[in-house]
A = this chain, B = another copy of it.
Amino acid sequence: MLGGIETGGSKWECAVGTGPDDLRAFETIPTTTPVETIGRAVTFFEREGPVDAIGIGSFGPVDQKVSSPSWGHVTTTPKPGWANTDVGGEFGRRLSVPVAFDTDVNAAALGEQRWGAAQGLDTFCYITIGTGIGGGGMAGGNLLHGLLHPEFGHIRIPHDTAVDPFPGACPYHGDCWEGLASGRAIEARWGQPPEALTGRDEVWELEARYLALGLVCVTCVLSPQRIVIGGGVGTAPGLLSRVRPQVVALLNGYLNAAAVGDGIGDYIVPPALGSRSGVLGAIALAEAL
C-alpha cells in the first residue's frame, strides 16, 4: 500500500492506494503553517495506513537531489513560513517509511505516464496553467532534473505591447510566460478571475496566443512526443482548441512530424487523470522507490 501527497500552495491532497482504480482513502488539507499542515497529513497516513512508502509532489522550488543535504526541502518559496522547510525528511522520520520527493509537475507527469495521457512515451511534458505556470516531464524516460529543475513558467516570450499593454504579473520578470498567461495574470489584466471570463473571445484568443508561444519554445527545446496541459486555466473548456492551430501556425511547417502538424491531433492534450495527476503521480513516485 502506498501513500501520495500533492502539496500545493493553497491545499494538499493526500491519498492511500495503488493507482487510479484503487484509491482507498483521500483527503484534502488546507495549506496553513508547515507544522500544522504536515501534522494533519501525518495523522491521515497514520489513520489510513500503514503505507510502505510515500511519494510527494511538491510546490517549489524544491531540492529533489537525493545526494543533497537539503533533499526534500521546499527551498526559496516566497510563501510565508515555508522557505527551507524539510517536507520530505519530516514524513520519513514521523512515519518511518521511505519517501520519494519531486516537483508537483514531475509527479503529475509521472502519473500521466503511468496511468494517463502519456502512457508509452519517454519524452513528454506536463504543464500546469493555473495560478502560476509550471512544467515537468521526462526526457529519455527520466524525469526532468538538472542543475535544479525546470521552471517553464519563466521563459520569455514575445509580448506585443501595442496589442496587450498589460505589463505582466511576475514579481521577478514582469512579462515572462507566467507573467503574461497565468491565472494571476489573466485576473490582473482583465480585472476578473478566469472563471468569470467565460465566453469573452478576446480573453481566450490572447491566452491561446501566449500559450502557443510558450509551447513552441518547449517543443523546440525538448522535442516532446506529447504535451499534457493541466491546471485550472489550462483545462478551461475550449482553450486547447484555440491553442493547437496557433502552435501549428507558429511552427509554420518547420517540424516534419505529422503529430505536430495535425492541428487537432493528439500532440497537445488534457490530462487523462483530470485534477488527480499530481496525487496519483505521487503514488507512482512511491511505487518507483
Contacts of A124 in B (CB 8 A): 146
Asked whether A144 lies within 8 Å of B217 as measured between CB atoms, the reply is: no
How many A residues face the partner with a CB closer than 8 A? Answer: 50
| A152 pairs with B224, CB closer than 8 A | no
A173: chain B residues at CB < 8 Å are 250, 252, 254
Q: Say yes or no: A151-B252 contact (C-beta < 8 A), given A146-B222, A221-B217.
A: no
Task: Decide if A148 touches B221 in the complex (CB within 8 Å).
Answer: no
Provided the pairs A158-B159, A159-B158, A252-B173 are in contact, do residues A150 and B221 lie with their beta carbons within 8 angstroms?
yes
Q: Are B218 and A221 in contact (CB under 8 A)?
A: yes
Contact present for B148 and A139 (CB under 8 Å): no
Cβ of B123 and Cβ of A252 under 8 Å apart?
no
Known: A140-B142, A254-B151, A256-B61. A222 touches B222 (CB 8 A): yes
Contact with B along A147-169 (1 / 0, CB 8 A): 11111111111110000000000
- Would you call A233 an interface residue if the criterion is a C-beta within 8 Å of the partner chain's C-beta atoms? no
Q: Are A256 and B123 in contact (CB under 8 A)?
A: no
Contact present for B155 and A225 (CB under 8 Å): no
A37 adjacent to chain B (CB < 8 Å):
no
Point out the residue from B144, B156, B223 that lies within 8 Å of A223, measured CB to CB: B144
Which residues of chain B come closer than 8 Å to A75, judged between CB atoms?
A: 256
Tell me the minimal C-beta distance from A283 to chain B in angstroms: 22
Q: Which of A135-193 contact B (CB under 8 A)?
A: 135, 139-159, 172-173
| Residue A257 lies at the interface, judged by CB distance under 8 Å to chain B | yes
Assess the B140–A223 pair: CB atoms within 8 A: no
Q: Say whether B172 contacts A254, CB under 8 Å.
A: yes
Question: Is A43 at the interface (CB under 8 A from chain B)?
Answer: no
Closest Cβ of chain B to A251, distance in Å, is: 8
Interface string of A234-268 (1 = CB under 8 A from B): 00000000000000001111111101100000000
- Complexed CA–CA distance, A216 and B217 (Å): 11
Q: Is the CB of A148 within 8 A of B217?
A: no
Determine if B221 and A152 form an interchain contact, defined as CB atoms under 8 angstroms apart: yes
Question: 3 shortest A-B CB distances, which residue pairs?
Answer: A146-B223, A140-B142, A139-B139
